[in-house]
């Protein structure tokens, strides 16, 4: 068997992750302009990878482009939260149900690992790390559903969901509750309880939306 090699991340990928983490850490606040030249100087790169990273983040929902003002951090409002979580509430539990029905315990190994890593992030109150682990956990549950289009649709919501999570936790630090619910979902999945895992996930996603909307509507 020929040796395998891990290719280094491209400069754009590195810049992309730095800006994403900065947004989720709220180093860049909602509505704050993201100036290419300033970001390039801050990250020690040319403007080209910054421009490419901002385009990707615009497509994923973390960045908004205005014809006159350029790029800025997206602002979360109640309409956005409802739109994102409406899709998730309908689609994600079904994807998880199908993944559990495949009876492959290996599908959920990464979800279990994300749960372990979350303990340190909770202790540190690292919202960015928790948001990234949260999306990793959820994807680990639904990625084995057997429907690539379903996975792609849910993947496209991940950055928006992460930003909504950060905004929600800022006003109501309920991450311990969410991760307790994660454990219950994973336990049902590992037992092969497809309908139970799906229902627990539906309540988990819907419950968080209710808490976020109380903040955004209030």
Residue numbers of the chain with a pLDDT score lower than 50: 1-8
DSSP readout, 173-206? --HHHHHHHHHHHHHHHHHT-HHHHHHHHHHHHH
Q: Tell me which DSSP letter residue 33 carries.
A: B
Residue pair 83/216 in contact (Cβ under 8 Å)? The answer is no
Question: Which structural domains are found in the chain, ordered by start?
Answer: 11-73 (1.10.10.10), 78-217 (1.20.120.530)
Contact 184, 111 (CB under 8 A): no
The model's pTM: 0.84
Residue 66: predicted pLDDT = 87
The pLDDT assigned to 2 comes to 41
Kindly write down the DSSP assignment for every residue of 90-158, as one continuous string. Answer: HHHHHHHHHHHHT--GGGGHHHHHHHHHHHHHHHHT-HHHHHHHHHHHHHHHHTTSS-HHHHHHHHHTH
CA angle centred on 142, ends 138 and 147, rounded to 5°? 150
**Tokens 């209710």, residue?**
210
């Amino acid at each position: 068997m020929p040796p395998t090699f891990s290719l280094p991340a491209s400069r754009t990928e590195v810049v992309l992750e730095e800006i994403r983490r900065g947004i989720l850490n709220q180093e860049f606040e909602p509505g704050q302009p993201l100036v290419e030249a300033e970001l390039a100087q801050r990250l020690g790169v040319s403007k080209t990878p910054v421009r490419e990273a901002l385009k990707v983040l615009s497509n994923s929902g973390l960045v908004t482009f205005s014809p006159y003002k350029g790029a800025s951090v997206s602002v979360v409002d109640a309409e956005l939260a409802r739109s994102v979580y409406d899709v998730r509430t309908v689609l994600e539990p079904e994807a998880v149900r199908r993944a559990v029905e495949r009876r492959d315990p290996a599908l959920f190994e990464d979800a279990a690992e994300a749960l372990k890593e979350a303990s340190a992030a909770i202790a540190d109150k690292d919202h960015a790390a928790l948001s990234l682990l949260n999306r990793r956990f959820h994807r680990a549950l639904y990625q084995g559903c057997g429907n690539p289009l379903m996975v792609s649709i849910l993947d496209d919501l991940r950055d928006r969901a992460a930003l909504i999570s950060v905004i929600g936790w800022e006003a109501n630090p309920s991450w311990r509750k969410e991760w307790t619910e994660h454990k219950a979902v994973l336990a049902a999945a590992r037992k092969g309880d497809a309908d139970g895992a799906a229902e627990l996930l539906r309540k988990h996603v819907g419950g968080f939306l209710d808490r976020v909307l109380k903040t955004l509507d209030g």
